[in-house]
Chain A
Amino acid sequence: MRSRIHWLALLAAALFLVNGCAGASVLSAVPIAATGITKATQASRPINDSEEYYVGRAVAARILGKYPLDQNPKLTAYVNEVGQTVARKSTRPQTFRGYHFAVLDTPEINAFACPGGTIFITRGLVRTCATEDQLAAVLAHEVAHVAHKDGVNSISKARWTQVWTAMGAEAARQYGGVAGNLVTLFEGSIDDVFKTIVVNGYSRTAEETADQEAVATLTKAGYDPGALPQVLDKMMAKEKGASGGIFKTHPPTSERLAKVKAEASGAPPSKDEAARTRRFKSISG
């Protein structure tokens, strides 16, 4: 009896010490541990920030298997400066591992927003832009796709449900290594996202929402939101005779252009655009 009491006392004190060091309520341990068991049997839950990040990395790796990175460090640094300037004014200024911007060394005209915040713009699209504000408009549009999780939202619900089923099965048998089933499901998820952002494009609604957000972001950042319809106009002019790439994934239709023009028309005038255009031209060549 005495030793049992001592053990209880020691256990209680030890629990407190461990808890104190870990810096969290022991009461939270129960829900967390229980959640682990419950969640594994749930049909689905939204993809979390960390999972979104790993999906984004794999999608980026596939894109970089198709296009090499541009090797101009000044241009890369500049695109990152413009990108970070708009990202911090977006509806999602932060992601799990932050936003990163890179230029792809191809004359194709395109841009890709990988889940989690890695954004690619092709050298062809940088050259299509005539000003820093137009470059900012393209990047703000892509940031909006990340903010809205348009990439990960293209993972089919059926597949995500299977992820949960696989996780439950693996957890039940104590999980001794990388689950082949999870890897296969991960692979399928990457395919879903890749098809959407590189091959088929987002839905019209997702595109229009990204345009609206880009206009708001540009205005907040101090850029001219009118730069978005300007760059769409340029893309429409280049579209004649083209059908793939950005013309399929981000189709610059006249209807879309009209909407963006209307949204951007009420914005206050942007100052110092000439200075920004000078630095754009000095770097983009």
Chain B
Amino acid sequence: MRIPITCKKAAGVLVALGLALLVLGPGTGWGETLEVTQPNQYLYPDPDFAGTPMGAVPAGSRVQVIRQAGDWYKVNYQGMEGWLNRQAFPTPPAGSKFSLPGLLFGAPVKETTSDEVALAGKGFTPEVESGYRQKHPELNFAQVDRVETFKVNPAKLDAFIREGGLNP
């Protein structure tokens, strides 16, 4: 069957456009600005809490996202590049590209038993904890959950520090 020249051209353009978008898209898509909504967030040199923080990023700060790796975002904050954990902005604003998890595309990895990538990346998961709990019903995970609710309101902590003559 013969394909009309115009049709071939159109298809070629579509392919070129698609490939161009594929290659350039992520680059042009980056640079989205997100607002840090949680207090006590820090910029890290590597995507790992174990590193020494480069500095604090107060709640309300706006950061420019450079890229994402799992639960971590490489960002630019006031000219400083570093990594912020996703807990800094647990609920991205409506319309944000970051609102949809894309497992194979580097978005936060879902910890599901059927997910081979998650399995290979994480040895001890909620599912493993669940299996452990079934084996040890005598352990008090309900109390652990309760302890994890013990939090200090940031404003209250600031007042506590101030009243005690401590360093903010």
The chain A residues found within 8 Å of chain B, CB to CB, are 1-2, 5-6, 8-13, 15-16, 18-29, 32-33, 35-37, 39-40, 47-51, 54-55, 57-58, 60-62, 64-65, 69, 76-77, 80-81, 84-85, 88-89, 91-98, 100-102, 118, 132, 147, 149, 163-164, 166-168, 170-171, 174-180, 182-183, 185-187, 189-190, 220-223, 270-273, 275-276, 279
Contact = CB atoms under 8 A, between A and B. Distances in A.
Contacts of A58: 129, 132, 139
Contact of B96 (A23, A51, A61, A100): A23
Contacts of B156: 81
A102 B147 CA distance: 7
Contact of A13 (B12, B17, B97, B165): B17
A24 B97 CA distance: 9
Given A9-B11, A89-B167, A94 B121 contact: no
B125 interface: yes
A182 B128 contact: yes
B106 interface: yes
B146 A69 contact: yes
A29 B167 contact: no
- Taking residues whose C-beta sits less than 8 angstroms from the other chain, chain B's interface range is 35 or more
Interface string B93-133: 00011101110111100010110110111111111111110
A61 B134 CA distance: 13
Nearest to A69: B143
Closest 7 pairs (CB-CB, A-B): A22-B102, A272-B165, A12-B18, A24-B106, A23-B97, A9-B14, A183-B131
Nearest to B97: A23
A144 B58 CA distance: 24
B114 A175 contact: yes
A5 B100 contact: no
Contacts of A94: 40-42, 49, 53, 85
Given A28-B106, A54-B129, A61-B141, A2 B42 contact: no
Given A92-B50, A163-B123, A183-B128, A24 B68 contact: yes
8 contacts: A8-B18, A61-B141, A61-B144, A94-B40, A118-B144, A174-B114, A176-B114, A186-B131
Contact of A170 (B48, B119, B144): B119
B155 interface: no
Contacts of A23: 29, 32, 65, 68, 96-98, 100, 102, 105, 107
Given A9-B14, A12-B15, A80-B151, A33 B166 contact: no
Given A20-B97, A132-B164, A187-B132, A28 B105 contact: yes
Contacts of B148: 97, 100, 118
